[in-house]
Amino acid sequence: MSLRIYNTITRRKEEFKPLQAGIVKMYVCGVTVYDYCHLGHGRAYVVWDMVRRYLQTKYQVTYVQNITDIDDKILKRSQERGTTMQAIADQYIATYNEDMAKLNIQPADAYPRATESISEIIKLIEQLIKGGYAYAAGGDVYYAVQKFPNYGKLSGRKLEDMQSGASGRVDELEEYKRYPFDFALWKSAKPNEPFWASPWGDGRPGWHIECSAMVRSRLGETIDIHAGGADLQFPHHENEIAQSEAAYAKPLAKYWMHNGFVNIDGEKMSKSLHNFKTIRDLLCHFEPMAIRLFILQAQYRQPIDFTEEAIKAATKGWETIRDAMLFAKDFGAKLGWTDLALPSRETVQAAIVGFEEAMDDDFNTSVALSYVFELAKKLCSERNSLLHSGSTDKDTDVLYQKWQALSYMTNVLGFVADSPTQDPDNDESVINDSEIEVLIQQRREAKQSKNYGESDRLRNLLKAQGITLIDQKDGTTRWIRD
């Protein structure tokens, strides 16, 4: 069987055929950097990492993921903290990288930042104005959605229906818009905001245009896979299509992929709903690979309900996989195994047929994991007999083949069994002073907005990491390490 991918734009599973033989160009929409990542973000990037790893077994993959470092939310956070947008962005890019490394997500081949792509963005906007798809008004530039006949082709929304369902209100900051669903490509500078010079005056780019410009500059006019969370289908990806396809008259991407949400009590985990668990918080209680397993137990398009019990259950599952992965390290010498390196696909091909069929069926990791568990349980039962009686009555060559197949599959799914050796003086799992200050500041903001649940959560989070807070009479907070 060959790989089939559910393509959001055609609404069906299609055989995957890259544009150019042997090569895959993949672009994933990245985070807006103004806070710690939560489990929903973790899911998105674990899923795209798994897709990338599986594609890497057959193709040469170039994976680009942008960083949105210009945005109202980043600006607001920088004003609250009395610092610059860049300082906020740098801080949360660093914490993003730390969290994702713990989940064993491979770094992207490039992480273009919006602030570093301004000239490409301006060029693209100029091209859209020239083509009659965009208009400048009052220092802003808007995309005229009615000029793009295919508007709505990804999300299946029609402008007529959207219009009858809309209240007709126009954002007061976008007063120059001619039509309610037009969207900003460039926003004129407001007082105390960072800005860049442009042919339309000082200002900053809108969100959607950055991805169109970065796909073009990093990967080209048409790419193989464009991916992101299901909430990005509309308006973000719809608008990216409108921009890029109007400018270059070519499809932006051949396959559009979208991951399902992590929900809590039936609602999307999100910062704005205050119902989120940060990856950092979860890593205080759970092993990173248990979180990775929790995410991959579901097929990537299905919703996942977050509960602590479900991650506890995934922890048990992970321990079985981990012990089986470590089988060769623990017993290989005793059994006379000499080659403990990761096997090639050719070596294990016959033993991974079911696993690959599941992965070929739109990356069905839920079924693929059943093949991992089948082998892991067998290896763990041998592990028990080796631990208790010091020997096994099984054919050691057969056991070796099982271990090789398991190693191959777990590697494709991105699991690592060895906990990284830690230098106690440079232990990333120990919260550092600046991270403590950030959490104290967040707690102060939570208290100011009378969100006492959140302020208690932050106090407990710090307590769990051995940090005790002492509130002072003057409103400041001191802290000590236990």
Ligand X SMILES: Nc1ncnc2c1ncn2[C@@H]1O[C@H](COP(=O)(O)OP(=O)(O)OP(=O)(O)O)[C@@H](O)[C@H]1O
- Contact call for residue 29 and Zn ion (CB under 5 A): yes
Task: Give residues 412-431 in contact with Zn ion (rule: CB under 5 A).
Answer: none
**What is the spatial distance between Cα 222 and Cα 220, in angstroms, rounded to a whole number?**
6
271 is in an annotated binding site: yes
Taking the complex as a whole, the smallest distance from the CB of residue 393 to ligand X amounts, in Å, to 47
**What is the spatial distance between Cα 336 and Cα 313, in angstroms, rounded to a whole number?**
34
Nearest to 410 by CA among 320, 333, 480, 346: 320
319 is in an annotated binding site: no
Query: Which residue type, as a one-letter code, is found at position 59?
Result: Y
Residue 31 interaction partner, one of ligand X, Zn ion, none, beta carbon < 5-8 Å per kind: ligand X
Answer whether 151's CB lies under 8 Å from 242's CB: yes
Residue 306 interaction partner, one of Zn ion, ligand X, none, beta carbon < 5-8 Å per kind: none
Among 89, 122, 211, 372, binds Zn ion (CB under 5 A): 211
Cα dist from 51 to 235, 296, 360, whole Å: 24, 11, 10
Taking the complex as a whole, the smallest distance from the CB of residue 240 to ligand X amounts, in Å, to 13
Taking the complex as a whole, the smallest distance from the CB of residue 141 to ligand X amounts, in Å, to 22
229 vs 317, beta carbon nearer ligand X: 229
Taking the complex as a whole, the smallest distance from the CB of residue 47 to ligand X amounts, in Å, to 8
211 is in an annotated binding site: yes
- Contact call for residue 214 and Zn ion (CB under 5 A): no
Residues 6+ apart with CB under 8 A from 75: 85, 193, 194
Taking the complex as a whole, the smallest distance from the CB of residue 31 to ligand X amounts, in Å, to 4
For the chain, the first-to-last Cα distance in angstroms comes to: 57
243 vs 259, beta carbon nearer ligand X: 259
Residue 211 interaction partner, one of Zn ion, ligand X, none, beta carbon < 5-8 Å per kind: Zn ion
Residue 182, number of CB atoms within 10 A of its CB: 20
Taking the complex as a whole, the smallest distance from the CB of residue 303 to ligand X amounts, in Å, to 8
Answer whether 284's CB lies under 8 Å from 461's CB: yes
237 vs 459, beta carbon nearer ligand X: 237
365 vs 407, beta carbon nearer ligand X: 365
Chain centre to alpha carbon of residue 376: 28
Taking the complex as a whole, the smallest distance from the CB of residue 211 to Zn ion amounts, in Å, to 3
Interface with ligand X (CB under 6 A)? 29, 31-32, 40-41, 43-44, 228-229, 231-232, 259, 261-262, 268-272
Residues 6+ apart with CB under 8 A from 453: none
29 vs 386, beta carbon nearer Zn ion: 29
Residues 6+ apart with CB under 8 A from 408: 342, 343, 345, 347, 348, 352
**What is the spatial distance between Cα 66 and Cα 131, in angstroms, rounded to a whole number?**
26
Cβ contacts of 302-310, under 8 Å, gap ≥ 24: 302/260, 302/366, 303/260, 303/261, 303/262, 303/263, 304/43, 304/260, 304/261, 304/262, 304/263, 305/263, 305/264, 305/266, 306/39, 306/262, 306/263, 306/264, 306/269, 306/277
Q: Which helix (H) or strand (E) holds 118?
A: helix 118-130
Query: Which residue type, as a one-letter code, is found at position 421?
Result: T
Residue 231 interaction partner, one of Zn ion, ligand X, none, beta carbon < 5-8 Å per kind: ligand X
Stretch that binds Zn ion, among 22-30, 114-122, 175-183, 409-417 (CB under 5 A): 22-30
Residue 335 interaction partner, one of Zn ion, ligand X, none, beta carbon < 5-8 Å per kind: none
| Eight-class DSSP state of 236 | I
Residue 378 interaction partner, one of ligand X, Zn ion, none, beta carbon < 5-8 Å per kind: none
Taking the complex as a whole, the smallest distance from the CB of residue 263 to ligand X amounts, in Å, to 7
226 vs 459, beta carbon nearer ligand X: 226
Residue 317 interaction partner, one of ligand X, Zn ion, none, beta carbon < 5-8 Å per kind: none
Paired tokens of 5: 């991918």
Stretch that binds Zn ion, among 158-166, 181-189, 207-215, 250-258 (CB under 5 A): 207-215
211 vs 304, beta carbon nearer Zn ion: 211
29 is in an annotated binding site: yes
261 vs 400, beta carbon nearer ligand X: 261
Q: Using CB atoms within 10 A of its CB, is residue 188 exposed (0-12), middle (13-18) or buried (19+)?
A: buried
284 is in an annotated binding site: no
Answer whether 95's CB lies under 8 Å from 36's CB: yes
Stretch that binds Zn ion, among 8-16, 29-37, 69-77, 216-224 (CB under 5 A): 29-37
70 vs 379, beta carbon nearer Zn ion: 70
Paired tokens of 389: 């009686």
- Annotate 402-424 with DSSP letters as a single string: HHHHHHHHHHHTT---SPPP--G
Coil, strand, or helix at residue 189?
coil
Taking the complex as a whole, the smallest distance from the CB of residue 236 to ligand X amounts, in Å, to 8
Answer whether 250's CB lies under 8 Å from 212's CB: no
Taking the complex as a whole, the smallest distance from the CB of residue 100 to Zn ion amounts, in Å, to 17
Stretch that binds Zn ion, among 26-34, 42-50, 394-402, 427-435 (CB under 5 A): 26-34
Q: Tell me which residue has its CB nearest to ligand X.
A: 229
Binding residues: 29, 211, 236, 240, 271
Q: Which residues bind Zn ion (CB under 5 A)?
A: 29, 211
Binding residues for ATP: 271
Binding residues for Zn(2+): 29, 211, 236, 240
